[in-house]
Amino acid sequence: MPEEKQQSSESRRNRPKAARGAPERRMRLDTSKLTTAFCNFFTAQDGPEEVVLNFGLRQRWDPNEQDVTVQMLQQVILHPAGVRRLRDLLDQLIAEREARATRAKGG
């Protein structure tokens, strides 16, 4: 049976409240085909109805190297509205991370 995860309280906080009397929807994430890859390279391309994000891995970081090879690992195609939600989520994540770092430094 595929492993399922429920949305975190963080993502639940970001969604609109359900209409009065309407049952709250629950989202179950099927992670049975989930793969993980470390990426240190990315590109983005904008089209009229989509944004394409490409993620890859550059294994060598030699500044003297003329030709650089990047192994492309994943391409994600998003609707512009999804890109805006992703941007908002990343902005929130970065702000929280910076706040934790500031607290850890005692500032």
Q: Which residues does 76 contact at the CB level (< 8 Å), separation at least 6?
A: 52, 53, 54, 55
> Which pair of tokens denotes residue 63?
């500044």
What is each CA distance from 39 to 25, 42, 56, 72, in whole angstroms? 33, 8, 5, 9
CA distance 61 to 40: 11
Q: What is the DSSP letter of 49?
A: S
Condensed to tens digits (0 to 9), the pLDDT of residues 34-88 reads 999 999 999 999 999 999 999 999 988 888 888 989 999 999 999 999 999 999 9
Condensed to tens digits (0 to 9), the pLDDT of residues 3-25 reads 444 444 444 455 555 566 788 99
Please report, for the chain, the start and end positions of each structural domain, with discontinuous segments joined by +.
42-58+71-107
CA distance 51 to 80: 6
Q: Which helix (H) or strand (E) holds 10?
A: helix 9-14
How many other C-beta atoms lie within 10 A of the C-beta of residue 24? 9
> Which pair of tokens denotes residue 97?
């991370």
